[in-house]
Amino acid sequence: MSEETKKIEAVTSQEYKYGFVTDIESDTIPPGLNEDVVRLISAKKKEPEFLLEWRLKAFRHWQKMEEPHWAHLNYEPIDYQTSSYYSAPKETKKLNSLDEVDPELLRTYEKLGIPLSEQERLAGVAVDAVFDSVSVATTFKDKLSELGIIFCSFSEAVQNHPDLIKKYLGSVVPPGDNFFAALNSAVFSDGSFVYIPKGVHCPMELSTYFRINAAETGQFERTLIVADEDSTVSYLEGCTAPQRDENQLHAAVVELVSHKGANLKYSTVQNWYPGDKDGKGGIYNFVTKRGIAHENAKISWTQVETGSAITWKYPGVILKGDNSVGEFYSVALTNNHQQADTGTKMIHLGKNTKSTIVSKGISAGKSNNSYRGLVKIGKNAENARNFSQCDSLLIGDTCGAHTFPYIDVHNTTAKLEHEATTSKIGEDQIFYLNQRGISTEDAVSMIVNGYCKTVFRELPMEFAVEAQNLLSLSLEGSVG
């Protein structure tokens, strides 16, 4: 083993700092999945009839589907009958203010660095927090509602705005879209809902934190964001989970609708528990995220993925309207035994549509990191343009980086550019920084952060700092 590899091995083994478990009473239904479970979930949430029907249809569809295995991922088969499909903190009475939230729960969020208190007003971030399956608190609801903005848990939206749910649910990701989306559609428990009225510019970042706490529970959130004509919104989600030896399933669906002239930005800092150094435990993250951009609308995905044992995720944009714009900026870091197969889909349907893809993959330890992206230009998409840049950075010599770009063009006026690079952190770069008094660990973190700069620039200011710290933490132990 070379000196460099030894150094590198020593920086990438790091303790997961969000690995604590909150001791809280939960209402968890027994493991297993059948039609009765779907009915039970719907009943527990007092859902209207249309939603139960929707769930059952999805469930029946799912039963006929097979788990997909085309991704560059290796894992033991998932037994869908051993997970519980609903877990909620026991206190289910309606909460009027944060004072009524279980203090243990609030402490959990504090540990995660998410102050739910009104102090958040200063930071200008409205937070919706989803603990296991239920949304516990949404800050700033009043202030937002003055502008007609709806930002609440998905369950609340079902009760209070059923017409909007009925109109948009499944309109971007249909229930039978893929195996995991179908599963989510049948059993989703909660999530966030956002509606920005016509012409409104949402004055603050909207943010949701997802937390899996209970053992052997799957988390299936559903997020739906609708930006009406000429509105703008920026939304951020963050995720963490306790450290557990068994794998936990997370299958979320996110649907974005950006109406004519609207501008919708969705950022993710994903830090689910990645498993230990030997690859034991960790979250299986199978997520379907997609947006539809109407005429002159824009959708921008930015993701920083450092967690999960397995990541299977391709946030995409359907560029339906003329002159619509889609963007995807991604940093995916894998360490130890993590595996990521992630990328995007840009489907150009309208004229003069434009998409940009910037993907930065970083592999360390014994991990595998794949970029998988599709750029499709439909036959009516005159003058469509795409620029893709896919870079891979290797740390050490036991990890893998792979790129699977798919290009499917049906209109000859399209212009596509694709750039790809693969590089290694050079020993000479590390030594250069060492020679200026910077430790090897800080040097690697500095080099990696520099490498990701074009993506971090796209994140909202306060989260860019968080993302940088997260990256440094996730790299700890990869060099030393």
Choice from 451, 466, 472, 473 touching another protein (CB under 8 A): 451
Please state the closest distance from residue 9 (CB atom) to another protein, in A. 15
Closer of 228 and 391 to another protein (Cβ): 391
Which residues, at least 6 apart from 7, have a Cβ–Cβ distance to it below 8 Å? 430, 440, 479, 480
**Distance separating alpha carbons of residues 21 and 112, to the nearest angstrom:** 12
* 411-430 positions binding another protein, by CB under 8 A: 426-429
Closer of 205 and 441 to another protein (Cβ): 441
Please state the closest distance from residue 428 (CB atom) to another protein, in A. 5
Closer of 380 and 454 to another protein (Cβ): 454
Total residues interacting with another protein, rule: CB under 8 A: 24
Q: x-or-dash pattern for another protein, window 270-309, by CB under 8 A?
A: ----------------------------------------
Please state the closest distance from residue 454 (CB atom) to another protein, in A. 8
Q: How far is CA 475 from the centre of its chain?
A: 20
Please state the closest distance from residue 300 (CB atom) to another protein, in A. 20
Q: How many CB atoms lie within 10 A of CB 96?
A: 7
User: Hey, is 103 helix, strand or coil?
Assistant: helix
**453 touching another protein, by CB under 8 A:** yes
**23 touching another protein, by CB under 8 A:** no
**Distance separating alpha carbons of residues 296 and 311, to the nearest angstrom:** 32
Closer of 50 and 431 to another protein (Cβ): 431
| Residue showing tokens 């989803």 | 130
Choice from 14, 243, 356, 434 touching another protein (CB under 8 A): 434
Please state the closest distance from residue 455 (CB atom) to another protein, in A. 10
Which residues, at least 6 apart from 287, have a Cβ–Cβ distance to it below 8 Å? 180, 250, 251, 252, 253, 254, 311, 312, 313
125's tokens: 């971030």
Choice from 432, 462, 465, 469 touching another protein (CB under 8 A): 432
What's the count of helices (H) and strands (E) in the chain, helices before strands? 13, 24
Closer of 213 and 363 to another protein (Cβ): 363
Which residues, at least 6 apart from 73, have a Cβ–Cβ distance to it below 8 Å? 310, 312, 339, 341, 368
Closer of 97 and 435 to another protein (Cβ): 435
Closer of 240 and 468 to another protein (Cβ): 468
Choice from 34, 145, 160, 454 touching another protein (CB under 8 A): 454
**447 touching another protein, by CB under 8 A:** yes
Please state the closest distance from residue 446 (CB atom) to another protein, in A. 6
**450 touching another protein, by CB under 8 A:** yes
Distances (CA, A) of 34 to 83, 185, 219, 307: 12, 14, 17, 30
Which residues, at least 6 apart from 62, have a Cβ–Cβ distance to it below 8 Å? 179, 182, 183, 185, 186
**437 touching another protein, by CB under 8 A:** yes
**446 touching another protein, by CB under 8 A:** yes
Choice from 295, 322, 442, 466 touching another protein (CB under 8 A): 442
Query: Which spans in 33-129 are helix H?
Result: 35-44, 49-63, 103-111, 120-123
457 neighbors 399 (Cβ within 8 angstroms): no
**Distance separating alpha carbons of residues 403 and 390, to the nearest angstrom:** 8
Binding site for another protein (CB under 8 A): 3, 426-429, 431-440, 442, 446-447, 449-454
